[in-house]
Chains A and B, each alone.
Chain A
Amino acid sequence: MIALLRYQAALLIGSHRWLPPVILYAAFLAVGIQTGGPMLDSYGFAAAGTLPMAVWLARICVTSEPPAARNCAAAAAGPGRVHLASLLTAALGALLLALGGTAFVALTSDPHFSDHRVAVPVLPATAAGLLTALACVLLGIAIGALCNWPVLRSPGSAIPAGLLAALLLSVLGASPANAAVTGMVSGSAHGTVSMPWLPLAGTVPIAVAAVAAACVLSSRRN
């Protein structure tokens, strides 16, 4: 599995297809986060941006190999493991992005609640920001796993489906990612830091199930 992860990571890095999502995320942070804004709101905003980026990275990693090369690796290691490695690589890439976003917020935001008077406990707030980002990344990877090969095979359906799912799950109140981000923003307004344990507990099984389904399907569809 480590060899497969190294291979997929080298594919991702060498192909330079990671550049557009990273640049877009950097622009999103630069435009959306005001220097000196309240810390918890900024964490929530930065985390919300990682969801579509995770969807995008999942698509990049899943489609990074031409079918002939994928078959060679699949014969050696099994198609399910090859697919799992590509989704894990996307998840690791999105987590790096989330770490970068969290660090940016930690350095530039104002460590106070939204009234700008009461100080925010920085460490718990950063932990809550990271967990929120993790929930968004996991949900994004789940969308990416279900909206690409082998579940949706043609780009004509995969890309719109991925975009729509990313939008809906960012906006709809029932989505765990939305719940985590809302929790950060309302915590800032009410002067509390709440850890997003419940949304995270919702996203983990969703992500595991989606990735497992995609990996099982990878040897059945073609």
Chain B
Amino acid sequence: MKLDGVGRRYGVRGPWVLRDVQLEVPARALVRIEGTNGSGKSTLLRLFAGIDRPTAGRITGRPRAAYVPERFPAALPFTAAGYLTHLGRIHGLRGPEAARRAGAWLERFGAAGHAGTPLARLSKGTSQKVAVAQALLAEPGLLVLDEAWTGLDQGAREVLGSAVAERVADGGTVVFVDHDPRRLAGTADARYRVTGGRLVLEERGRAEDAAVVAGPRVIIEVQGAPGSAPRSGDGPDSPPLPGRPTIAPGPDGTIRLTVPAAHSDALLRALLMARPPWHIRSVTAAPPSATDPDEPRMDPGSLAHCDARDARNAHDAYAAPRPQAARAPHGVPQARDESGRNVHHDPGAEARP
């Protein structure tokens, strides 16, 4: 996604709230926007989300977006679950799937008891949970959070933090504003400040990213149910697993996922929330040797297990340039990820009678 010379002002002769914003945001990135009150942060976020159109310049390559407002005073004639189902449909989900995800997200935020409560009767914090769930349930390519943490209780704040990490790990872009400097500290790929109508780069790169990759790793042994398909699906656009685990066949038809310890929670959650869920056999700390990022983690021969379509997808992925390729030194190289995904399809096939 690219912002090219973007400016915004309200009214024909109004002052420029933003001017000459040049910004390129890759997929799989967490971007923090800072600035004082009234500096134009919210305007920038509205431009990101596509709610506003820039007065000058253009925005290209925006994926399907979801937006969380700072305050969600929803005087709407719906129940919480009903509203979420409507929004899920607007995001392109089918009705039953939207309703299922609405329930799942309300439960994750600890608001399952309010699913049948009319929105007008919800407390401020619970309304905010609905606003956040609305954006997360459709797994958008671009998630825009305008002080979304405001009003959430401690548990929900942590859930939102890990949901943001999952969105990024799944290949999404997250842009957020928050006045708490510790919010998602150290995980943002870039930090920008809006000042005097300009966007200034404060810091680029994930300082501890290399530390996370080289840090302690966790081995998760899982087994798929008979006939189960991995959550990542079959399509070429299916997202990789959170934390981009290294995948290798384990004993007894299990598979071994090796992932940086910082991402293990997100990965476990993704495996357990898959339909049908994966059976977790064991979670153990990896021996230090597994942390060498240059060690070949994949037996190339195991690609032979894949069906022709998977092999084709893998080939496409090798050929297609991707934005995150630029970050290869920090992350897991692309090829490994793709082949890993293909191996991930295997146990399902093996488990079938």
* Interface set of A (CB-CB < 8 Å, partner B): 3-4, 6-7, 10-11, 13-16, 65-66, 68-69, 71-79, 219-222
In the bound complex, what is the Cα–Cα distance between A203 and B86 (angstroms)?
A: 33
B91 on the interface (CB 8 Å rule)?
yes
Interface residues of B: mostly helix, strand, loop or mixed?
loop
Partner of B72, one of A11, A15, A69, A219: A69
Judge whether B80 is part of the interface by a CB distance below 8 angstroms.
Answer: no
Quick check: is B135 within 8 A (CB to CB) of the other chain?
yes
A198 and B278 CA atoms in complex are apart in Å by 66
A74 to B55, CA, bound (A): 18
Tell me whether B90 and A4 are in contact (CB under 8 A).
yes
Cβ–Cβ < 8 Å partners of B69 in chain A: 68, 71-72
Q: A10-B86, A11-B77 are in contact. Are A74 and B51 (CB under 8 A)?
A: yes
Does the CB pair A7–B90 fall under 8 Å? yes
Complex CA gap A168/B72 in Å reads 39
| B131 and A76 contact, CB distance less than 8 A | no
- Per the bound structure, the CA–CA distance linking A74 and B134 in Å amounts to 13
Contact size range, B: 35 or more
Cβ of A222: which chain B residues have Cβ within 8 Å of it?
10, 46, 52
Tell me, in angstroms, the Cα distance from A173 to B175 when the chains sit together: 55
Minimum Cβ distance to chain A for residue B65 (Å): 5
A-side contacts of B131, CB under 8 Å:
68, 72
Instruction: Name the contact of A219 in the complex, choosing from B51, B73, B74 (C-beta under 8 A).
Output: B51
Determine if A75 and B50 form an interchain contact, defined as CB atoms under 8 angstroms apart.
yes
Sample of 5 further A-B pairs with CB below 8 A, known A7-B87, A222-B52: A15-B77, A68-B73, A71-B46, A72-B135, A76-B87
The answer to the question of B124 belonging to the interface, with a C-beta cut-off of 8 Å to chain A, is no
A220 to chain B, nearest CB (A): 5
B64 interface residue, CB < 8 Å from A? yes
Please indicate the chain A residues that have their CB under 8 angstroms from the CB of B138 in the complex.
76
Asked whether A3 and B74 contact (CB < 8 A) given A76-B91, A222-B10, the answer is no
Contact present for A75 and B49 (CB under 8 Å): yes
Cβ-defined contact, A69 with B74, below 8 A = yes
B51 touching A75, Cβ below 8 Å: yes
Please give, as numbers and ranges, the residues of chain B lying within 8 Å of A3 by CB-CB distance: 86, 89-90, 92
Q: Across the interface, do B72 and A68 meet the contact criterion of CB distance under 8 Å?
A: yes
Interchain CB contact (< 8 A) of A7 among B51, B86, B92: B86
Q: How far is the CA of A69 from the CA of B119 in the complex (A)?
A: 11
Task: Check if B19 is an interface residue, CB within 8 A of chain A.
Answer: no
Are B50 and A73 in contact (CB-based, < 8 A)?
no
A76–B74 touching, CB < 8 Å? no
| Cα A16 to Cα B72 with chains together (Å) | 21
Contact of B75 among A6, A66, A78 (CB under 8 A): A66
* CB-defined contacts of B64 to chain A, threshold 8 Å: 76
